[in-house]
Chain A
Amino acid sequence: MSELLQFLFSGVTVGAVYALVALGFTIIYNASDVVNFAQGEFVMLGGMITFAAHAAGLPLPLAAVSAIVLTAGLGVAMNKLAIEPARGAPVVSLIIITIGASIFIQGAAQIVFGKQIHSFPAFSGDAPIRVAGATILPQSLWVIGGAVAVFIALWLFFTRTLLGRAVLATSNNRLAAQLVGINTNFVMTLSFALSAGIGALAGVLATPITLTAYNVGIAFALKGFAGAMLGGMGNPKGALVGGFSIGLIEALTAGYLSSTYKDAAAFVVILAVLFFMPQGLFGRKSTDRV
């Protein structure tokens, strides 16, 4: 029993990270119909920049904030330099562009931060908390709390603020949104900043547990995408549920089947979703306009 609880704890922890990545996917997908394959690199950058800034002598909270701000800025730059010039390009080109951005960021990180594995101290110490025979790290609570807080903040933003509604309007119909006076370019910029910032936050929260290296991004992207797809592409609630589910599936696979092949779980989920319910748990059935 305590064994199962232990697996659930670790599943919810990584699941929270995947949920944050999935939320990042969802924001950009909604605003622009682009699936940003570089989403995982934002997570990597969040962890890496915090590590570098902390190592350079900055206090941890300041290092974390600067990592999130810098990464958000990078997201905006990516939109301006790589996505916006390719507006209207076929999906194939957009996939190649975002994967190109992902490789580029990875290559740059490899040169700037080196190939070593990095980490920084946990926010509230390393003393595990005992719950019913299982243990959970204080940092896990930070990660889970972070995911839930981001989700609530996003929900309030999209339903209660004018700006958030403008983003939703843009995702529904770009042209119509322009016609009623919404600055859709600004909405795009905002979406990339938000998405990159959330990715970086995931990296900041998770790195004390998962550690980070220049090449961890692609796995986060794959699993975050699996989460977003399981929940239904473009649905924030789905992204949250999907991300946590992928984490739990992975942890249970590692616990009961094979820890070597736990990374295969996300891939199996992707295939299963495609087979049985392509629109995901909460997704709408998509229709094409011709």
Chain B
Amino acid sequence: MMKLTPKSATLIVLVALIALSPLLFPSNFYYRVGALIFVNAIAVTGIVILTGYAGQVSLGHAGFAGIGAYACALAPVHLGVPPALAVVLGAVLSGVLAYLVGRPILRLHGYYLGVATLGFGILVTMVLTNERALTGGPDGIEVPDLGLRGLLGDLGLSLSNGQFWYFFSGLCMLIGAWIALNLYDSPTGRALRALHGSEVAARTVGIDVARLKLRAFVISAVYASVSGSLLALQNRFVTPDVAGFMHSIEMVTMAVLGGVGSVLGAIFGAAILTLLPQVLTVFAEYEQMVLGLVMILVMIFLREGLLPSILKKLRGKDE
């Protein structure tokens, strides 16, 4: 039998999960949950590139999600661009901001990026909350319709709103995962993993450490931005919470829980932490405590994350 590369294996697993899961859905509501998982998974895939590949931590990536989300709310109204273009606009803006913020910070070691991104996220939330005239303040703002579902309907493919967003977000997640997996094996990806291992060693073999870290930071910011855009478009509404500190922490926790070194693992983590509040309604009150506990326990006992640890166990039994 032909041996599958990990890349194609991951993509096949994802396609199969997206296509087959609806067969098990007891109600339409689960399309909505599935779409949420995919949207979170996109942001978390960005975290994989930044934290898993390059070994840098961001505690403010929700700030970029906020920029992506509010781009979809504001650009169509104020600039007259279609919502689809607003997604791109948000992504470009996030990328440029990430470049400007990351440039001075990424020359230095881990902690500084953590603190600076934390501050950045708080700053974005602050602007979104305080500039009421533009953003609607803490009450949030409406987001126009993407219009793609109507277009598909005209072409004879009519989907319910939940179904459309399920498959559309799923497709976006697949593209995101495909790019991230390609990056892993590219020269950039190898260099990122090398500097994760040892920055000094990477520098000695001629890797421009600061520039590569910056590149990973910018790419992951774009992922977060697109994720925020999709969230806003499918909810048709957005509040500053999307950029909030807790959302940043959720992203990091999802990634480390599933396994920050692997795209599939991180998506798995996103699925667990998105499903948990849906299944356990009592979870809401304890959400913060659980998130914190998960972060600590995973880092101490399962440093590679849930999925890689499980796979290792399974493989260990085969031999």
A binding-site residues for B, Cβ under 8 Å: 35, 37, 82, 85-86, 89-93, 95-97, 99-108, 110-111, 218-219, 222, 225-226, 229, 260-261, 263-264, 266-267, 270-271, 274-275, 278, 288, 290
Contacts and interface: CB of A to CB of B under 8 A. Distances in A.
Interface of B: 51, 55-57, 59, 101, 104-105, 107-112, 114-116, 118-120, 122-123, 126, 130, 200-201, 245, 249, 252-253, 256, 285-296, 299-300, 303
A263 B292 contact: no
15 contacts: A35-B111, A35-B115, A82-B300, A90-B55, A92-B110, A93-B299, A93-B303, A97-B300, A100-B294, A104-B289, A104-B292, A107-B286, A218-B122, A222-B119, A266-B119
A280 to B, nearest CB: 11
Given A85-B300, A89-B303, A267-B120, A100 B108 contact: no
Contacts, number: 128
Contacts of B291: 100, 103-104, 107
B244 to A, nearest CB: 11
B57 A95 contact: yes
A103 B104 contact: no
A239 to B, nearest CB: 15
Contact residues of B: prevailing secondary structure: helix
Nearest to A288: B200
Given A86-B299, A99-B295, A261-B126, A222 B118 contact: yes
Contact residues of A: prevailing secondary structure: helix
B116 A100 contact: no
A106 B292 CA distance: 9
Contact of B293 (A35, A104, A106, A264): A104
A99 B298 CA distance: 13
A234 B29 CA distance: 52
A271 B104 contact: yes
A99 B294 CA distance: 11
